[in-house]
Amino acid sequence: MAAAPSADSEPLQPLAWACAAFAGGALLNLDRVPAWTAATTLLLIAWRLTTERSRARLPGSVARALLALAVVAVVLLRFHTLNGLAAGTALLMLMSALKLLETRARRDQFVLVGAGLFLLLSACLDRQSLVRVPLYALQAWLSCSALAVVASAGFGGRAALRLAGRALLFALPLAVLLFLFFPRLPGAFWALQRGGEAQTGLSDTMSPGSIAKLVASYDPAFRVQFAGRAPPAEELYWRGPVLHEFDGHTWRRTSGAFHPRQRLQYLGTPYRYRVALEPTRLRWWFALDTPAQSPDASVLLTYDNQLLGTEPLTQPISFDAVSYTRTRALEPLGALARQQDTTLPPGANPRSAALAQTLRQRADSDADFVQATLGYLHTGGFEYTLTPEPLGADPVDDFLFNTRAGFCGHYASAFVALMRAASVPARVVTGYLGGEWNPIGGYFVVRQSDAHAWAEVWLQGRGWTRIDPTAVVAPERLRRGVFDLLPDALSAPERLLRASAWLTRALQRWDAANAWWSDHVVKFDYSAQLDLLGRLGIRSPDVRYLGWAFVLALFGWLAIIAWHIGRSARPASPDTLARAYARLCHKLERIGPPRAPHQGPLSFAETVTAQRPELRGSVHALLARYAQLRYGPAAPAATRTRDVEAFRRAVARLSLSRAAGG
């Protein structure tokens, strides 16, 4: 009976290592693929390991082919494509998991480890934050150790880990070199389709409660470093989407509306700063209140002072900008724009409309009306809370006259609605307020929890003027973050983190490290490379020269590694006797035939004296002496040392001449 092909002869260990490397790669992509993909993969790994233990049969080729087709079909059904990062990763993961069904020989285990490495690569494509770096390093280490175990059956786990660790350390300088000097292509090399992924940050609509949801997130939205003096905390309004359309419940951006940007007179201090945006997969670029001009050719500065990119932000990006926090309009508001920003849904929120008209009639000017409205909010018993009661059919009325409790979104929404009800042009601005000063990195970090909404009102002679109704209700919000105001908004562990000064400091350090990583590593692109080369004195780097320099460096480093490995492979340092013998052989080889590696001392003596009979006395005796010292009965240590030394000196003294007739 034919023996089972693999189960008997192959130990579990290489398979287990290969599976571990593959599972590591799968785990790194856990947040990208749907849960069932990861679950199927991990289950298949577990199943394969148990069949190896129980020596069960693997499925036949027809079953495997059907399964492969089924997997392709499922992925197509779920993603409607096989292309793109999410679909591609899911397909790779499932197909490699199916490979487990036919993993019999060593070659298949190599394929599994390869899949693990490929999954690592796919994770690296767009998940590049500092916190994942140790995970990636671990996965690389695990996969290389698995390669070692699979490649040579005799390798124990410990030895493989040691070897792989050493090899990776050797590779590290090479990786740094490659990172710094490998010619980079300008532009987005990975034009990847990224569909079906969650977007984070502000969206272009605002309904009651939508910002409160954001506030629960502690993730950084962007970091800002001011070139000179930073504005005071109450001026740190970071502009995001500006919303114009109101349906009584939700605020929206006007789609397709285009108005020319008004000429502005900039007042007060210009603030110069650099913003490092986290990828949001949205088009907004956040900037301080009113940017003076667009920082980038691909970014539009809109009529409502928003920075709008042409592509969604899929990678971290930095830009320099100049902003003012006070401006004056030099042109009147256009009729179309005025109409757009005074429109309210007809019939909605009648009580607030009535209130607005009453207040307007009492006031002398629009500015007075604004003050009166703010006064109404200030004295009306309004409460600032993250968890307001749900609002009814006329949300503004409900909020102003019933619940009287809400978050920034409620106040901005109600305020703008009141303004418009009195035909004062007004719009809602969403964005962020404030930011946490990081003394270690010297920058502000603005988090999702700093999300805010305020209003802008058109006032005659001043133009668009920022009014923050929330500040009237909760003035503290201007100077402190939401969490200081509403500690309940934080989860218990986060509260604990913030309670300890030491932990806060540690968090700031970590954030500074993250900022450094993101600025210097993740964003190291073509222009940064040119900068570096320029600083090294290479002004106009020709890509060809760069290539040559790179090849030279590569081979140089490989030579160093080869020399090192060669040295460690050589036998341990030979003792004095061996060195003396080697020297004797060397001397003899110069005058006669070389010693074959397998020749012992006596047969070498025969070979030599066959050609040079006159040497029989000296050489023969020396070689016999060596044989005695090396293979003879052990003498006491002192005697032996003396004898070896005498032999060494005799060899040193030996002088041989090339015989004429040799």
State in angstroms the smallest separation of the CB of 91 from another protein.
40
Residue among 46, 69, 105, 582 that touches another protein (CB under 8 A): 582
CA separation for the pair 451, 482 (Å, rounded): 9
19, 144, 408, 585: which one is catalytic?
408
Closer to another protein by Cβ: residue 254 or 628: 628
In eight-state DSSP terms, residue 344 is: -
598 binds another protein (CB under 8 A): yes
- 602 touching another protein, by CB under 8 A: yes
CA 359 to chain centre: 53
Quick note: the x/- pattern for another protein over 533-572, rule CB under 8 A, is --------------------------------------x-
* Binder of another protein out of 56, 65, 178, 596 (CB under 8 A): 596
Q: Indicate if 452 belongs to the active site.
A: yes
Tokens of 335: 């009729």
Q: What is the smallest separation between the CB atom of 654 and another protein, expressed in angstroms?
A: 17
Query: Per-residue string for binding with another protein, 629-658, x by CB under 8 A?
Result: -xxxxx------------------------
Q: Is residue 357 at the binding interface for another protein, with CB under 8 A as the rule?
A: no
Told to check if 405 binds another protein by CB under 8 A, we report: no
According to the binding rule CB under 8 A, does residue 313 interact with another protein? no
Cβ-based nearer residue to another protein, 346 or 633: 633
Taking the least distance from each CB to another protein, the nearer of 566 and 597 is 597
User: Rounded to an integer, what distance in angstroms lies between the CA atom of residue 540 and that of residue 98?
Assistant: 51
Query: How far, in Å, CA of 343 to CA of 133, rounded?
Result: 51
Burial of 604 (0-12, 13-18, 19+ CB in 10 A): buried
CA distances from 175 to 24, 168, 233, 300, 541 (A): 22, 10, 43, 38, 21
> Cα torsion at 648, 653, 657, 662 (round to 10°)?
-40
154 interacts with another protein by CB under 8 A: no
Enumerate long-range contacts of 566-571, CB under 8 Å, 24 or more apart: none
Q: How far is the CB of 595 from another protein (least distance, A)?
A: 9
Question: Which entry of 397, 468, 511, 519 is annotated as an active-site residue?
Answer: 468
Q: DSSP characters for 255-308?
A: SS---PPPPEEEES--EEEEEEEPP-SSSEE-EESEESS-SSTTEEE-TTS-EE
Please indicate whether residue 408 is annotated as part of the active site: yes
**Neighbour tally for 539: CB within 10 Å:** 8
Give the binding range for another protein (CB under 8 A) out of 130-138, 274-282, 371-379, 597-605: 597-605
Measured from the Cβ of residue 347, the count of other Cβ atoms closer than 10 Å reads 9
Look up residue 235 and give its DSSP letter.
G
Would you give the DSSP letter of residue 625? H
- What minimum distance in Å lies between the beta carbon of 636 and another protein? 15
Reply yes or no on whether 398 is catalytic.
no
The count of residues interacting with another protein (CB under 8 A) is 21
The interface region with another protein, picked from 161-169, 237-245, 508-516, 595-603 by CB under 8 A, is 595-603
Q: Which of 25, 88, 395, 601 binds another protein (CB under 8 A)?
A: 601
Give the other-Cβ count within 10 Å of 591's Cβ: 16
- The nearest distance, CB 649 to another protein, in angstroms, is 18
Least Cβ distance, residue 577 to another protein (angstroms): 8
- Among the listed ranges 12-20, 43-51, 250-258, 600-608, the one in contact with another protein (CB under 8 A) is 600-608
Contact window for another protein (CB under 8 A) among 7-15, 22-30, 220-228, 599-607: 599-607
Among the listed residues 108, 112, 123, 91, the one whose alpha carbon sits nearest the alpha carbon of residue 23: 112
DSSP 188-224: -S------S----S--SEE-TTHHHHHHT---EEEEE
Rounded to the nearest 10 degrees, what angle do helices 526-535 and 157-181 cross at? 80
60 vs 632 by CB, closer to another protein: 632
34 binds another protein (CB under 8 A): no
CB of 600 to another protein, least distance (A): 4
In angstroms, what CA-CA distances link 315 with 187, 281, 289, 312?
A: 12, 8, 24, 9
Residue linked to tokens 């980079």: 184
Cβ proximity to another protein, 454 vs 626, nearer residue: 626
Is 585 a binder of another protein (CB under 8 A)? yes
> Residue 404 or 630: which CB sits closer to another protein?
630
Question: What backbone phi and psi angles, to 5 degrees, belong to 183?
Answer: -55, 125
**587 binds another protein per the rule CB under 8 A:** no
Which residue stretch of 1-9, 425-433, 513-521, 573-581 sits at the interface with another protein (rule: CB under 8 A)? 573-581
Is the CB of 415 or the CB of 581 nearer to another protein?
Answer: 581
- Contact pick of 578, 591, 650, 656 for another protein (by CB under 8 A): 578
Q: Between 64 and 106, whose beta carbon lies closer to another protein?
A: 106
Q: Which of 304, 394, 450, 452 is catalytic?
A: 452
Residues 609-628 that bind another protein (CB under 8 A): 627-628
| Shortest separation between residue 628's beta carbon and another protein, angstroms | 7
Q: Could you say whether residue 165 binds another protein (CB under 8 A)?
A: no
599 counts as binding another protein under rule CB under 8 A: yes
The number of angstroms, rounded, from the C-alpha of 551 to the middle of its chain's C-alpha atoms is 28
Kindly state the smallest distance separating residue 574's Cβ from another protein, in Å.
6
How many whole angstroms separate alpha carbon 203 and alpha carbon 190?
Answer: 26
Six token digits for residue 22:
């593959």
Which of 229, 259, 236 has the alpha carbon at shortest distance from 335? 259
Cα(424)–Cα(414) distance, rounded to whole angstroms?
14
List helix spans (H) across 80-105.
85-99
Nearest distance in Å: CB 547, another protein:
42
CB nearer to another protein: pick between 342 and 628? 628
Q: Which residues in this chain contact another protein in the complex, by CB under 8 A?
A: 571, 574, 578, 581-582, 585, 596-603, 627-628, 630-634
Residues assigned a catalytic role: 408, 452, 468
